[in-house]
Amino acid sequence: MHKIWLIIQREYLTRVRKKSFIIMTFLTPLLLAAFMVIPAWLATISDSEDVVMVLDESGLFADKLESKEDLKIIPVAAGSLEQAKMAYQETDYTALLHIPKLDLDKPEGIRLYSKKNTSLQVKFRLENMLEKEIESQRFMASGIDRDMLNKMKANITMTTVNLSESGERDSNVWVTSGAGIVGAVIIYFFIFLYGVQIMRGVIEEKTNRIVEVMISSVKPFQLMMGKIVGIAGVGLTQFLLWVVLSTIVVGGVQAAFDIKPTPTPIEQMQAGRELATGEEAAQTEESSQASTFSEVSNAISNLNFPLLLGCFLFYFLGGYLLYGSLFGAIGAAVDNETDTQQFMFPITIPLIISFIMSYTVVIQNPDGPVAFWMSIIPFTSPIVMMVRIPFGVPVSELLLSMGLLILGFIFTTWIASRIYRVGILMYGKKINYKELSKWLFYRV
Amino acid sequence: MSILKIDGVTKRYANHTALDNVSFDIPAGCIFGLLGPNGAGKTSLIRIITQITGADSGEIYFKGEKLRPSHIKDMGYLPEERGLYKKMKVGEQLLYLAQLKGLTKEEATARIKEWVARFEIKEWMNKHIEDLSKGMQQKVQFMATVMHQPSLIILDEPFSGFDPINANLIKDEILRLRDNGATIIFSTHRMESVEELCDNIALINRSRKVLDGPVREIKDTYKTDTYQVIGNGQLMVTSPDFEVLEQHSNHGVFRASIRLLDGASPNDLLRYLIQRVEVHSFIELVPSINDIFIRKVKETYHA
C-alpha cells in the first residue's frame, strides 16, 4: 500500500508541476471570462442604430411606421423609386424600404433595398411592423376594434412543477436538461483527456525502458493502479481549480464591468419565440424576460444539488476508472502511439455513441427504453445517467446502474491488469486481438 | 553458504522453453557470472529471481527461504534494457526508486548524499535525466540499483553502453560492494568481459545449464597442462614427457606450445628447456571461459 501511494504521488506531482497543466488550468477560466466579457463589450459598441428610408406609394403606412430607439424610420417624400434609390445611394442609411401600391387582401411586392446585406433582425422587425399595420387596417375594414381585440387576447406562461414525494418543486425543462448535459459533457471529455494521459504514461514507461526497473520493485498491478489513481487526482484537481477560478474570475469580471449575466441560449430562444408572436410580446418582453429569468434561477435553485454533485463525482470517477484501465492496457500492448489506433477504436465507440445519444434521444425521452438501458450498461452509463438524473431517476435504477458500474470497472481493471503485466515486457511485436486475448490467461 | 539456490527451475512460453530444469547455487559474497549466448535463458532466469515472472516448476531459495515478495527489497536489479523517467530530476528519481525499495525518505536522502559524494556528481542532482549524457544516465541507474544496499545485486549486461573509463569505475564499485559483503550476479553473453571479475560462474545454453562452479576449479578441470614458450635457439624436444603441439621459428626466435604428459611438472619442462635454449617467456596456456564453453557445448551435442 505504501508503494502504490508513492507511485500515485509521483504520477500526480510530475503532471501537476508540468507547464502545460498550469497553463491549461489558468487559461481556461480566463477564456471563460473572455467569452462573457467580449460579447457584452461588443454589444455596447455595436449599439449603432439602423436607419431605414421608407418610400410609401400605397399611402397606407404614412405616419404609422414609427421610429424605435435603434431603428429609425425616415419617410421619403413622394417620388419615383428610381429617385429614392439614388437618394439612398448618397446616404449611409441601412436600407430603403419600398412599399408599392397595395391590395390589402394581397400585400405583395414590398421590397427592401440595401447596399450591404441587411441583418435578419432588421428584416423581421420591419415585416412585423408592416404585418401589424396591415392587420389593423383589415380589422378596421371588417369593423373590429384593435384595442378590443387586444383585451380579448390571452397570454399564458406555464410553470412546470415536479410532483414528487419530497413535495412540489418548480422546474424548468431547459435548466433540467442543461444541468445533465453539462455533467455528461464534462465526464466525456475527462474520460478522453485523462484516459489518453494514462495510455501515454504507460507507453512512455515502456519506451523509456524504466518499466522493468519499476516492476522489479513493485507489482505491475500497483504500477498500473498508481498511475490511474494519480492521474484521476490530476483530473479532479484541474476540475476543482476550474470551478474555483471560474467563480472568482466571473465574479470579478461581473463586478468590474457591471454586466448582467448574458442571457443563456435558452432565454434567447424564448425571447426569440416571443418576438415572433408579435407586438404584444414585444411589449411584455421586458416583464416576460424577467419572469423567465426568475423561473430559471428558481429552477436552478430547485435542482437537487447534493444528489447531482454526488452522482457527478461517482460517475466521473467510475467512468474514468472503467475506461482508464483499458487505456492503460492499450498503452501496455503497443510500442508507440501510432500503433494505438486499432485498439482505441472499440473503446471510443461506446463513449462517442453515448455522448451523441445523450443530447438527442436521451434528452428527448429521458425515461424511454434507450435512455434506460444506456444508463444501466456500465460502458455508457457514466454519460447517459448524468443526463437522466436531473429529470429524476428512481433510486433502484440509480443503485443498479452504480452497482454495475463498479462491477464494470472491476472487470475492465482485471482485463487491463492481465494485458498490462504481459504487455509491458513485450517489445517489438505487433499485437493483434487474438494475441491480446491469449494474454488474459497467461500464467506469468 | 549459498545466498541463492536455484532448484530445478523450468519456464515455458507459448512456443518455446526458456529454462529447462536449471539448478545451481550461488555462494554468498562472490561475484557470480551467469553466462551464455543470447537467447539462452539468462534474462528469463533473472526475471524469475526478481519475481517479475514466476517459474512453471522448481523452486528458488533466497538465504535459505523460499523466494517471496519481501525478498525484493534485498535485491537490486539492473536490467539489460535500462531506462529512467526522462522528465524527472536526478535527485527526485533516485529518491523515488529508493523509496520504492522500502527506504524511508530520510534514509534515502542520506544514501543519495553518500553516493553523490563518491561519484562526484553533485551538480547533476537538479538536472533532468534527459539532459544527461548516456554514460551519466548509466551511472545514475547503477546508483539506483544499489542505493538500498541489497545483499544480492543482479546486473544484466552491465557494461554495455559504458565507455571504458566509466566501465572501470563501475568495476571498482562492484568489487567494493562485494568486499562489503554483497553478492553480485553478472549476466552477459560476452564471457571474456567478466572472466577476471567472476569468482563463480554458471554457463547456460539453449535453456539448459551446461556447467557451473568456481572459475578456478573449472579452469583447472579444463586445463590441458599446456605451456607457451618463447625463446632463442633451436628447439628440438625429444623427451617422451612432453609433446610439442605447435611450433614456429623466425630469425632464431621460436614460439612453441608444449604439453606435459603423464605427471611431468612445469618445472621439469623448464629444466629441460633451459639446458637447450634461451627461455624468454614461459606461460601456462589456460583455456578461456569462452573456449571451455565452446568445448562443453560441443561435448553436449556430440554425446
Q: Does residue B25 contact residue B2 with C-beta atoms inside 8 Å?
A: yes
State the cell numbers at B259.
604439453
Rounded to the nearest angstrom, the minimum Cα separation between A205 and chain B is 7
In 3D space, the residue among B200, B207, B203, B199 whose CA is nearest the CA of residue B189 turns out to be B203
DSSP string, A282-346: HHHHHHHHHHHHHHHHHHHHHS-HHHHHHHHHHHHHHHHHHHHHHHHHHHHH-SSGGGGHHHHHH
C-alpha torsion B138→A427→A441→A226, nearest 10: 50
Same domain, yes or no: A235 and A353: yes
Instruction: Check whether residue A211 and residue A106 sit in a common domain.
Output: no
CA B146, CA B135: separation in Å to the nearest integer? 17
Give the C-alpha distances (Å, rounded to integers) separating B16 from A369, B8, B39, B109.
52, 17, 11, 44
User: Which chain B residue's Cα is nearest to A218?
Assistant: B100
Whether chain B has a CB inside 8 Å of the CB on A6: the answer is yes
According to the model, what pLDDT value does residue A262 have?
47
Domain identity same for A105 and A218:
no
* SS3 state of residue B15: coil
Residue B206 sits in the same domain as residue B251: no
The percent of chain B in helix, strand and coil, each rounded to the nearest 5, is: 35, 30, 30
The closest of B36, B62, B40, B38 to B49, measured between CA atoms, is B62
Query: Residue for cell digits 453539462?
Result: A182
Based on the fold, state whether residues A193 and A331 are members of the same structural domain.
yes
Total residue count of chain B as it appears in this document? 303
Last residue of a domain, one of A94, A119, A152: A152
- Count CB neighbours of B196 within 10 A: 8
User: What's the whole-number mean pLDDT along residues B93-116?
Assistant: 91
Distance of alpha carbon A149 from alpha carbon A151, whole angstroms: 5
Å from B145 to nearest chain A CA?
Answer: 9
Q: Domain span at residue A433?
A: 171-260+301-439
- Domain assignment of residue B20, given as a range: 2-220
**Yes or no, beta carbons of A213 and B83 under 8 Å apart:** yes
- Ranking A253-257, B66-70, B125-129, B293-297 by mean pLDDT, the lowest is A253-257
Best residue of A5, A210, A440 to probe chain B, by most B CBs closer than 10 Å: A210
One domain, residues B237 and B139: no
Residue B64 inside a domain? The answer is: yes
Rounded Cα gap, residues B43 and A442, in angstroms: 19
- Quick one: which of A297, A283, A298, A319 has its CA closest to A405? A319
Q: What whole-number percentage of chain A has pLDDT above 90?
A: 15
Q: Is the Cβ pair A213, B72 closer than 8 Å?
A: no
Q: What is the CATH number of the domain that holds B276?
A: 3.30.70
In the predicted model, is pLDDT for residue A273 greater than 50?
no
- A288-318 pLDDT, tens digit each: 555 566 666 666 666 677 888 888 889 998 9
Q: Of A152, A187, A219, which residue is a domain's last? A: A152
For residues B25 and B1, what is the distance between their CA atoms, to the nearest angstrom? 9
Q: List CB contacts of A364: < 8 A, sequence separation 6 or more.
A: none
pLDDT, tens digit (0-9, with 9 covering 90-100), for A392-434: 788 898 999 999 999 999 999 988 988 888 888 887 777 778 8
Residue range B83-100: average pLDDT? 90
Nearest CA in chain A to B154: A216
Tens-digit pLDDT profile for residues A87-121 = 888 887 878 888 888 777 777 888 888 877 777 77
State whether A216 and B72 contact (CB < 8 Å). yes
Range with the lowest mean pLDDT among A176-185, A250-259, A360-369, B223-232?
A: A250-259
Q: Which chain B residue shows the shortest CA-CA distance from A204? A: B85
- Res. A355: pLDDT tops 90: no
Best probe of the B interface among A15, A215, A216, A436, by most B CBs < 10 A, is: A216
Which residues in chain B are closer than 8 Å to A427, comparing Cβ atoms?
A: 81
Taking only the tens place, the pLDDT of each residue in A172-206 is: 667 777 778 888 888 898 898 899 999 999 998 88
Q: Does residue B296 sit within a domain?
A: no
Q: Is B107 inside any structural domain?
A: yes
Q: What is the pLDDT of residue A225?
A: 92
Asked whether residue B62 falls in the same domain as residue B157, the answer is yes
Question: Quick one: B46 and B140 in the same domain?
Answer: yes
Same domain, yes or no: A207 and A346: yes
Cβ-proximal residues to A80 (8 Å cutoff; 6+ apart), any chain:
none
For residue A266, being part of any structural domain is answered with no
Q: Tell me the pLDDT of chain B averaged across its residues.
A: 88
Q: How far is the alpha carbon of A444 from chain B, nearest alpha carbon, in Å?
A: 5
Burial of A40 (0-12, 13-18, 19+ CB in 10 A): middle
Q: Assess if residue A40 is contained within a domain.
A: no
How far apart CA A300 and CA A57 sit, in angstroms, is 53
Report the candidate in B72, B258, B124 with the shortest Cα–Cα distance to residue A3. Answer: B72
Q: Does any domain span residue B128?
A: yes
Q: Is the pLDDT of residue A386 over 90?
A: no
| Residue B298 located in a structural domain | no
Nearest CA in chain B to A201: B85
DSSP-derived letter for residue B74 is: G
pLDDT at A290: 56
* Mean pLDDT, residues B162-168: 82
Whether residue B96 is contained in a domain is answered as yes
Determine, for residues A216 and B88 on separate chains, whether the beta-carbon distance falls below 8 Å: no
**Secondary structure (3-state) at B247:** strand
Residues A345 and A407 in one domain: yes
At residue B166 the predicted structure's pLDDT band, cuts being 50, 70 and 90, is confident
Identify the pLDDT of residue A300. 65
> Do residues B164 and B265 both lie within one domain?
no
When divided into structural domains, chain B yields a total of 2
Asked if A318 and A434 sit in the same domain, the reply is yes
Which of B283, B276, B280 is closest to B234 using CA atoms?
A: B276
Cell of B50: 526478481
B225: left (phi over 0), alpha (psi -120 to 50) or beta: left
Secondary structure (3-state) at A347? helix
On whether both A182 and A118 belong to a single domain, the answer is no
Residue B7 contacts residue B61 (beta carbons within 8 Å): yes
Same domain, A207 and A347: yes
Q: Final residue of a domain: which of B220, B246, B274?
A: B220
Q: Which pLDDT band holds residue A168 (cuts at 50, 70, 90)?
A: low
Is A444 near chain B, with CB under 8 Å?
yes
Q: Residue B60: its pLDDT value, please?
A: 93
Q: Residue A311, Cβ neighbours under 10 Å: how many?
A: 24
Residue positions counted in chain A: 444
The answer to whether B85 contacts A208, with C-beta atoms less than 8 Å apart, is yes
Specify whether A220 is located in the same domain as A141: no
- Together in a domain, B59 and B204: yes
Q: Is residue A194 part of a domain?
A: yes
Calculate what percentage of chain B has a pLDDT beyond 70.
Answer: 99
Please state, as a whole number, how many other Cβ atoms lie within 10 Å of the Cβ of residue A199. 25
Smallest Cα distance from B84 to chain A, Å = 5
Given a cut of 70, is residue A66 above it in pLDDT? Answer: yes
B239 and B193 in one domain? no
Report if residue B61 sits inside a domain.
Answer: yes
Q: What pLDDT is attached to residue A127?
A: 85
**Identity at A324, one-letter amino acid code:** G
Instruction: Using a CB–CB cutoff of 8 Å, tell me whether A208 touches chain B.
Output: yes
Report yes or no: A381 and A403 within 8 Å, Cβ to Cβ. Answer: no
All three cell numbers of A337, joined, read: 502511439
CATH of the domain at B182: 3.40.50.300
- pLDDT confidence of A267, banded at 50, 70, 90? very low
Comparing alpha-carbon positions, the chain B residue that sits nearest to A5 is B100
Q: Are strands A71-75 and A95-99 parallel, antiparallel or unpaired?
A: unpaired
Based on the fold, state whether residues B168 and B281 are members of the same structural domain: no
Number of domains in chain A: 2
Co-location of A252 and A120 in the same domain: no
CA–CA gap between residue B291 and residue A394 (Å, rounded) = 79
Domain CATH code at residue A136: 3.40.190.10
Closest CA to A108 of A97, A100, A96, A116: A100
- Residue A432 covered by a domain: yes
Write down the pLDDT at residue B76: 92
Instruction: Give a yes or no: residue B26 inside a domain.
Output: yes
CB nearest B53 (choices: A204, A205, A444): A444
Contact B84 A14 (CB under 8 A): no
Q: Are residues A145 and A200 in the same domain?
A: no
Amino acid identity of residue B113, one-letter, is K
- CA B232/CA A91 separation, integer angstroms: 122
Nearest to B100 among A6, A14, A427 (CB): A6
Residues B208 and B251 in one domain: no
Identify all chain B residues contacting A218, using CB atoms and an 8 Å cutoff: 100
CA angle A145, A147, A152 (to 5 degrees): 95
On average, the pLDDT of chain A sits at: 80
* pLDDT at residue number A198: 93
